[in-house]
Amino acid sequence: MPNIPTYRQLDRILKSLGYIIVRIKGSHVQYKKGVSLITVPKHANKEVSQIVFKAILNELGIDKKEFWKIWLL
């Protein structure tokens, strides 16, 4: 289990949680669910930065362990 996910992993998890893509501009993709808006840098197989990953986890209201449990489902 990796420590930091790639864009593709984040995309899969966000979609499985009910987020939809609302905007793509340059190399950034915005996902929305209700009032929650998450922006993710899209760099294919590169890991996102730790700061971005922590911000996404905070917006989702989960920790790393829960995130990777969702990935395994």
Domains of the chain: 7-72 (3.30.920.30)
> Rounded distance, CA 22 to CA 54, Å?
21
Region 49-60 average pLDDT: 94
Q: What is the pLDDT of residues 19-42, one digit of tens each?
A: 999 999 999 999 999 999 999 999
> Rounded distance, CA 59 to CA 46, Å?
21
Average pLDDT, whole number, for the chain? 91
Give yes or no for residue 1 having a pLDDT over 70.
no
More confident residue, 45 or 10: 10
Q: What is the pLDDT of residue 32?
A: 97
CB of 62 closer than 8 Å to CB of 16: no
Region 45-73 average pLDDT: 91
